[in-house]
């Protein structure tokens, strides 16, 4: 069994900022990753409609980290459980759990990946294309090599190496189009 993924909105970080927002589905799991800042909420909602998903059907929302550009539109999904590096939140229930290795489904797993922030997590998705990693270790295909928010450059490099060692077919970065990692992928 494998999951499917669809980029709802490709992010950017130039004069303006928007997160890359992604939909993951497998069985009963309908997850949105990083529903943060976008120019208009329709950039998230319209692709969902096209894919036949109502916001009320979203079961899970995953935050790669807690910067507003990755969390701002979480309230679009009223029935979802919300996942971060340390817990699951739904309504007024806060369930502590370590994200590292937590499986939302057989093909969707969370992985602690400190780098951009100390609390970053990445989402690992087994798809028909191979392993897809949704992560803020890279803002886009070109890096940046030196993330201006990373407080520990060596930790960022080591975590990037760890993720690349998993052999991802595709990386979905925090602020850009999905890319195929290769020798020029910044460490």
Provide the token pair at 10: 């490709």
Phi, psi values for residue 157, rounded to 5°: -60, -45
CA-to-CA dists, residue 23 to 100, 152, 172, angstroms: 20, 30, 11
Distance CA(37)–CA(54), nearest Å, equals 19
Q: Where are the alpha helices (DSSP H) in the chain?
A: 42-50, 153-165
Provide the token pair at 39: 């120019």
Residue pair 126/3 in contact by the 8 Å Cβ criterion: yes
User: What confidence category does residue 143 fall into, taking pLDDT thresholds of 50, 70 and 90?
Assistant: confident
Residue pair 63/83 in contact by the 8 Å Cβ criterion: yes
User: What confidence category does residue 165 fall into, taking pLDDT thresholds of 50, 70 and 90?
Assistant: very high
Per-residue three-class SS string for 70-125:
HCCCHHHCCCCEEECCCEEEECCEEEECCCCCCEEECCEEEEECCCCCCCCEEEEE
Pick from 1-5, 34-38, 70-74, 171-175: least confident: 1-5
Checking if the pLDDT of 181 tops 90, the result is yes
Q: What is the CB-side half-sphere exposure of residue 69 using CA atoms within 13 A?
A: 15
Q: Give pLDDT tens digits for 33-47.
A: 999 999 999 999 999
Provide the token pair at 177: 């189009």
Query: In CATH terms, is domain 4-172 a member of 3.60.15.10?
Result: yes
Q: Give pLDDT tens digits for 44-93.
A: 999 999 999 999 999 999 999 999 999 999 999 999 999 999 999 999 99
Strands 60-62 and 29-33: parallel
Tokens 């087994």 -> residue: 126
Residue pair 111/64 in contact by the 8 Å Cβ criterion: no
The stretch 5-15 carries a mean pLDDT of: 96
What pLDDT is stored for residue 96 in this prediction? 98
User: What confidence category does residue 137 fall into, taking pLDDT thresholds of 50, 70 and 90?
Assistant: very high
- Record the pTM: 0.97
Checking if the pLDDT of 1 tops 90, the result is no
The stretch 112-140 carries a mean pLDDT of: 97
């Amino acid at each position: 069994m494998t999951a499917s993924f669809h980029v709802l909105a490709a992010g950017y970080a130039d004069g303006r900022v928007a997160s890359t927002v992604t939909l993951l589905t497998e069985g009963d799991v309908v997850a949105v990753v990083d529903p943060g800042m976008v120019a208009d909420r329709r950039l998230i909602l319209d692709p969902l409609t096209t894919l036949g998903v109502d916001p009320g059907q979203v079961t899970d929302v995953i935050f790669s980290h807690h910067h507003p550009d990755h969390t701002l539109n979480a309230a679009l999904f009223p029935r979802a459980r919300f996942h971060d590096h340390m817990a699951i939140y739904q309504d007024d229930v806060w369930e502590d759990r370590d994200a590292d290795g937590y499986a939302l489904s057989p093909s969707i797993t969370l992985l602690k990946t400190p780098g951009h922030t100390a609390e970053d997590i990445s989402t690992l998705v087994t798809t028909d294309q191979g392993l897809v990693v949704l992560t803020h270790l890279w803002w886009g295909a070109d890096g940046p090599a030196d993330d201006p928010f990373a407080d520990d450059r060596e930790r960022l490099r080591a975590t990037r190496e760890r993720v690349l060692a998993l052999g991802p077919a595709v990386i979905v970065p925090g602020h850009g189009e999905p890319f195929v990692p290769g020798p020029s992928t910044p460490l």
